[in-house]
Amino acid sequence: MKDGELEKTIEKTADFFLNETKGKGIIVVSHFDTDGISSAAIMIKSLKRLDQKFSLKIIKGLNKSIIDSLDKNKIIVFLDLASGSLKEINEAGLKRVFIIDHHEINPEDIRENTSVINPELTQKQRISSSGLTYLFCKKLDETNKDLAKFGVLGMIGDTLEKEIDELNNQIIEDGEIQKKRGLLIYPSTRPINRVLELSSNPFIPGVTGDPRGVIDILREAGLSPEGGKYKNLIDLNEKEMENLATAIILRNPKKKHKEMMGNLFLIKMFGKLEDAREISAKINACSREGKPEVALALCLENFNYKKKAEAIHTKYRQQLISGIKYANEKKEDGRGYIFINAKDNIKDTMIGTISSILANSPDYEEGTVVIGMSYDGKRKIKVSGRNVGKKGRNLRELLSSVMESFNGEVGGHHSAAGCVIDMEDEEEFIEKIKRNLELEVVRIGEHNI
């Protein structure tokens, strides 16, 4: 595809959407993570400005029963999902569908009644669904430019901020986001001792969850409290940032300095500058704790829900730290893979995050596959796959291949994919995925010989 093809698709789809939706009811269906919630916030604000009638569903995942339950006569807008469910959408007989998503998609499954905005169909640009939703809504009405900051929240939620291309840079500029180079730990707007103690990504051995370890590392970095209080991370000077980064790397010898430093993004929310990473993490925490309505209200800057979101986030981070410790203690190290069957010891809404944290760990070689499994309390098991260094096997293809023998759906990308299986298939699934992973190691070994 030529340069600008994605932008042309967005513009064409926006024009069609305006004509197609006049006087019709709309159902917005969005994913429950930060990117999905941010996408929903942008879309519903835009629809309100158009005086358009709509309803909203925030879901953990899309399946046939959800698709079949949708009103066939209403216009359905899917955000941050549905690219892997085109066959089910076609079978459900939905009359008019719009999909704004960035996950892998099979273009052969797209029907005439379905309009799709997805970078996988153009030049595979690295952009979040909320970024796409923002660009789409800006085409609906230029006044929606004030929603750009939500596109930035989703970008950070999907960890796309390290490689900012022209499209993402435009969203950052539209959102009037302030950037400062510094240590990539959040929240940068809070005292550094609290930030280190609650740091889960990166997880710092001997520091995360350990107040005494926090004091030790700050002493090593030459940082002392002033007037009984440590500086906020954002207020550290360049030398202090470098010293702290070095102290963290000494506890994570494989962690590269360039991975520790980057842009801190400050966005204006609730009348003051906030660390976009912290807001993104709070939205994510609320949804994963089963409170997507709190996540959405926080994203929409509802002061009444701000304290609720903060309480949920604090609890979530504590659970996350416990989950990481459990995973590190109970993980199974295979040849070229790490396997964690957490059962009911880690929440199903956390297993993906913990798998990602392990995949970002300095302890494993690039290309190592991390597979995490967790019970969801409803006779189902959530499976999350991640690649260390975002390189190696296509995890979506791996899980799709294994899932051919089971009842369930697969979603995600090359380096981050997941599926849900029935509990009765647990042992057989583990056996098949391990066999598949070990076969691949053998093949690679034979090739090297």
Q: What does the pLDDT average to over 137-158?
A: 93
Please return the burial class of 126, using the count of CB atoms within 10 Å of its CB with bins 0-12, 13-18 and 19+: middle
Q: What is the pLDDT of residue 441?
A: 55
Q: What is the pLDDT of residue 1?
A: 39
Torsion of CA 290, 292, 297, 299, to 10 degrees: 120
| Distance of alpha carbon 422 from alpha carbon 406, whole angstroms | 8
Domains and CATH numbers, the chain: 5-175 (3.90.1640.30), 179-324 (no CATH), 331-448 (3.10.310.40)
Q: What does the pLDDT average to over 344-351?
A: 92
Q: What is the pLDDT of residue 262?
A: 82
Helix pair 211-220, 238-251: axis angle to 10 deg: 120
- Both tokens of 45, joined, read 């604000």
427's CB contacts (< 8 A; 6+ apart) are none
Residues in the chain: 449
Q: What does the pLDDT average to over 141-149?
A: 95
Q: What is the pLDDT of residue 360?
A: 79
| Distance of alpha carbon 96 from alpha carbon 415, whole angstroms | 32
Tens of pLDDT along 102-121?
A: 998 999 999 999 999 999 99
443 vs 355 pLDDT, higher one: 355
390 pLDDT band (50/70/90 cuts)?
Answer: confident
Task: Phi first, then psi: give them for residue 72, nearest 5 degrees.
Answer: -65, -25
445 pLDDT band (50/70/90 cuts)?
Answer: very low
Q: What is the pLDDT of residue 77?
A: 98
DSSP calls for 136-198 = HHHHH-GGGGGGHHHHHHHHHHTT-TTS--HHHHHHHHHTT-EEEEEES-S-TTSBHHHHHHT
Tens of pLDDT along 79-89?
A: 999 998 999 99
Q: What is the pLDDT of residue 448?
A: 46
Q: What does the pLDDT average to over 333-353?
A: 92
* 308: three-class secondary structure by DSSP: helix
Q: Is the distance from CB of 116 to CB of 99 less than 8 angstroms?
A: yes
Q: How many CB atoms lie within 10 A of CB 211?
A: 12
Angle ∠(245,246,249) on CA atoms, nearest 5: 85
Q: What does the pLDDT average to over 3-30?
A: 93
217's CB contacts (< 8 A; 6+ apart) are 196, 204, 206, 207, 244, 247, 248, 251
- Name the average pLDDT for the chain: 90
Tens of pLDDT along 221-247?
A: 999 998 889 999 999 998 999 999 999
Q: What does the pLDDT average to over 304-323?
A: 92
Q: What does the pLDDT average to over 356-383?
A: 89
Q: What is the pLDDT of residue 11?
A: 96
Task: Phi first, then psi: give them for residue 226, nearest 5 degrees.
Answer: -115, 120
Cis peptide before 202 (omega within 30 of 0): yes
- Both tokens of 185, joined, read 């730990």
Q: What does the pLDDT average to over 209-226?
A: 93
447 pLDDT band (50/70/90 cuts)?
Answer: very low
| Distance of alpha carbon 79 from alpha carbon 215, whole angstroms | 44
Range in 46-60, 218-232, 398-412 with the lowest mean pLDDT: 398-412
Q: Strand 380-387 and strand 369-375: pairing?
A: antiparallel
Q: What is the pLDDT of residue 51?
A: 94
Q: What does the pLDDT average to over 158-187?
A: 81
Range in 154-158, 217-221, 379-383, 444-448 with the lowest mean pLDDT: 444-448
| Distance of alpha carbon 253 from alpha carbon 296, whole angstroms | 39
32 vs 364 pLDDT, higher one: 32
Task: Phi first, then psi: give them for residue 50, nearest 5 degrees.
Answer: -85, 0
